[in-house]
């Protein structure tokens, strides 16, 4: 990487969601005859006409730009913004993760969903090649997953999603972690130690996705987080367990947003929840929705 490219990339690293850095980089690339410069310029426009949309499609197939099939990558300002790499269904779907992460188009990925097996090997590859501005990571595993395998070399990681049937080990300290999403997992008994122990002081947002009703022990672990401000729950059925866990927790004093849009909350439980929120001084947003799932 030339000194000029390094300076331009570093400017984006410092403010990865500011379009100005990409605009400057794009101008320089255009001066070098690099087609990515034109792609950046087009994707920075507030709207595109039909001809411009067709040109963007063509540029995404340029050999120096294309790195993933369309459905697996979402682009922003000339680079992949979010990427998904799950277990391949056929041999032709195999992707070299290391080569993918080193591809210039992946330089400023902000969110990555990973379910490539074995996940331990995939995570080691990610740790060695992670984009510097990666802020959200979602992991899928079909069986047991060791939490200690989550890379600690992701300085900008703020959101972690885990969708696995069984978790072991202990989630390591991730200094930037602020939000965690847990889906369809059997957490056993040591919820607090496994999931939140090392990160309990930084976590401010938790989302739970469960098949039926969340366990009381898991709710207690979540609501005991000292800086919890946002809690989201998706469940088919929610009753007294949630209400009692919340009412008896310090989260009553801390929550600013409570999202139960897809919680299976009965009308009776919803009325009790509304009454309970009158005792929540910081709550500014309560989301209650249809008890039926989409």
Q: What integer pLDDT is reported at residue 118 of this predicted model?
A: 87
Q: In which band, very low, low, confident or very high, does the pLDDT at 92 lie, cut at 50, 70 and 90?
A: very low
The tokens describing 39, both together, are 């792609």
Domain membership of residue 16 (yes or no) is: yes
Q: What integer pLDDT is reported at residue 216 of this predicted model?
A: 87
Parent domain of 7: 1-66
Lowest-confidence segment of 89-93, 132-136, 219-223 by average pLDDT: 89-93
Q: In which band, very low, low, confident or very high, does the pLDDT at 294 lie, cut at 50, 70 and 90?
A: very low
**What residues contact residue 283 under an 8 Å CB cut-off, 6+ apart?**
255, 256, 257, 258, 277
Residue 290, pLDDT > 60, answer no
pTM of the model: 0.89
Domain membership of residue 248 (yes or no) is: yes
Q: What integer pLDDT is reported at residue 88 of this predicted model?
A: 63
Residue 147, pLDDT > 50, answer yes
Report yes or no: 205 and 195 within 8 Å, Cβ to Cβ: no
Mean pLDDT, range 48-70, rounded to an integer: 93
**Of 25, 41, 66, which residue sits at a domain end?**
66
Domain membership of residue 140 (yes or no) is: yes
178 shares its domain with 277 = yes
122 shares its domain with 251 = yes
**Of 66, 90, 113, which residue sits at a domain end?**
66
Domain membership of residue 104 (yes or no) is: yes
3 shares its domain with 144 = no
Tally of domains in the chain: 2
DSSP classification of residue 171 = P
168 shares its domain with 133 = yes
268 shares its domain with 225 = yes
**Of 49, 66, 83, which residue sits at a domain end?**
66
Q: What digits encode the pLDDT tens for the residues 95-115? A: 889 999 999 999 999 999 999
Q: What integer pLDDT is reported at residue 213 of this predicted model?
A: 80
Domain membership of residue 293 (yes or no) is: no
Higher pLDDT, 91 or 53: 53
3-state secondary structure of 132: coil
**Which domain CATH number covers 108?**
3.80.10.10
- The per-residue DSSP string of 238-286 comes to B-HHHHHHHHTSGGGGT-SEEEEEES-B-HHHHHHHHHHHTT-TT--EE
Residue 66, pLDDT > 90, answer yes
108 shares its domain with 241 = yes
47 shares its domain with 81 = no
- The per-residue DSSP string of 183-252 comes to ES-B--S-HIIIIIGGGTTT--EEEEE-SS---HHHHHHHHT-TT--EEEEE-S-B-HHHHHHHHTSGGG
1 shares its domain with 142 = no
125 shares its domain with 178 = yes
16 shares its domain with 136 = no
Q: What digits encode the pLDDT tens for the residues 173-218? A: 999 999 999 987 665 555 667 778 899 999 999 999 988 788 888 8
Domain membership of residue 294 (yes or no) is: no
120 shares its domain with 205 = yes
Residue 59, pLDDT > 90, answer yes
Lowest-confidence segment of 19-23, 87-91, 129-133, 274-278 by average pLDDT: 87-91
Mean pLDDT, range 53-68, rounded to an integer: 94
Q: What digits encode the pLDDT tens for the residues 10-48? A: 999 999 999 999 999 999 999 999 999 999 999 999 999
93 shares its domain with 218 = yes
């Amino acid at each position: 990487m030339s000194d000029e490219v390094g300076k331009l990339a570093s400017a984006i690293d410092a403010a990865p969601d500011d379009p100005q850095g990409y605009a400057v980089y794009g101008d320089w690339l255009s001066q070098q005859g690099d087609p990515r410069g034109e792609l950046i310029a087009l994707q920075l426009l507030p709207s595109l006409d039909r001809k411009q949309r067709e040109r963007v499609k063509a540029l995404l197939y340029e050999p120096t730009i294309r790195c993933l099939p369309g459905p697996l990558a979402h682009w922003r300002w000339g680079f992949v913004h979010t990427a998904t790499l799950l277990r391949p269904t056929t041999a032709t779907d195999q992707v070299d993760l290391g080569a993918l992460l080193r591809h210039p188009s992946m330089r400023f990925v902000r969110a990555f969903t990973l379910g490539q097996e074995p996940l331990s090997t995939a995570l080691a590859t990610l740790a060695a090649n992670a984009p510097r501005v990666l802020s959200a990571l979602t992991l899928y595993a079909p069986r047991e997953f060791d939490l200690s395998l989550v890379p600690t070399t992701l300085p900008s990681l703020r959101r972690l999603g885990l969708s696995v049937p069984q978790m072991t080990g202990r989630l390591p300290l991730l200094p930037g972690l602020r939000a965690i999403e847990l889906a369809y997992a059997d957490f056993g008994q040591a919820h607090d130690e496994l999931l939140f122990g090392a990160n309990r002081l930084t976590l401010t947002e938790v989302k739970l996705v469960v098949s039926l009703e969340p366990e009381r022990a898991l709710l207690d672990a979540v609501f005991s987080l000292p800086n919890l401000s946002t809690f989201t729950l998706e469940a088919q059925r929610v009753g007294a367990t949630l209400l009692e866990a919340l009412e008896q927790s310090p989260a009553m004093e801390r929550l600013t947003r409570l999202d139960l849009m897809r919680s299976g909350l009965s009308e009776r439980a919803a009325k009790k929840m509304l009454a309970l929120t009158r005792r929540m001084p910081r709550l500014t947003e309560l989301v209650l929705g249809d008890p039926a799932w989409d």
